[in-house]
Amino acid sequence: MDEQIQAQMQRMQTLDAEERYGELLAYLQELYAATEALPAPARTDYFMTLFQWKMLIEKYPPAAEALARARDEQARRLLAGEYHVGSAPHDPMHFQRADRVALMVEMNRTLGDPGATRAVFLQLEAKDPALARRDAYRMLEAIVEAGDFALGERYRGDPLALLRDVNVNAQSMPLFPPGRQAPRLAAELSNLTKDVRIAIAVLCGLQRETEAHALRRALLDGLANDELRAMAERELDAPGTIYGIHAKRQAALDEASG
């Protein structure tokens, strides 16, 4: 681990253990501001800070107020046309660069405020319809959680669009490959089930339960094997199951190698 990151983690852990929550919040805000000032920060550059911030909110209410202010600034700059974070001009070849949509959605998820994401989307839709349509899928889950099923129906697309790719890749890829190989098939299955779960929520919200049931059945019947069907059913009923299994596998590898 990078020595600077290790030192930052140690300081956060010390402040948290000593219940110096105000100091910890100030330090997190300092790290967040430093990341924002980078030329082209990646999403991973925010991960440690935002994760610790999320943990702090559970113990220290002012942390939620501070995150809401940071969220509001991200939304303001997004609506002002500043799509990407960082001080450097946008480079289309910099694929890992973080963007304000992702940060705003993540912050609202942490704050339990899907309505704020919906509100920004509506403003974006009025200001830049093409951009709103391009990024709708990234805000769709929050829109549906906020109860706007009509808006969700307008933007949800074909929930089974990824089904063919999942079945094709299942012929040559394990769901969870050994070692530290990226679980591509698991990720694709997770995305597919998320699309279906959102569509089911939309249909149920619009009182089209028969269609919702048929969609769930179409997903499970359409998957190529029993392993995929069982995992998809678990993911539909408990979102995050696939990620949780992968995280536990990675933790076990870390423990075995450490």
Global pTM value: 0.88
Three-state SS letters, the chain: CCHHHHHHHHHHHHHHHCCCHHHHHHHHHHHHHHHHCCCCCEHHHHHHHHHHHHHHHCCCCHHHHHHHHHHHHHHHHHHCCCCECCCCCCCCCCCCECEHHHHHHHHHHHHCCHHHHHHHHHHHHHHCHHHHHHHHHHHHHHHHHCCCHHHHHHHCCCCCCCHHHHHHHHCCCCCCCCCCCCCHHHHHHHHHHHHHHHHHHHHHHCCCHHHHHHHHHHHHHHCCCHHHHHHHHHHHHCCCHHHHHHHHHHHHHHHHHC
CB atoms within 10 A of CB 35: 19
Tens digit of each residue's pLDDT (9 = 90 or more) over 52-92 = 999 999 999 999 999 999 999 999 999 999 999 988 887 76
pLDDT at residue 258, rounded to an integer: 59
Stretches where the chain sits below pLDDT 50 are: none
pLDDT at residue 93, rounded to an integer: 61
CB 121 within 8 A of CB 143: yes
Spatial separation of the C-alpha atoms in residues 98 and 192, rounded to whole Å: 23
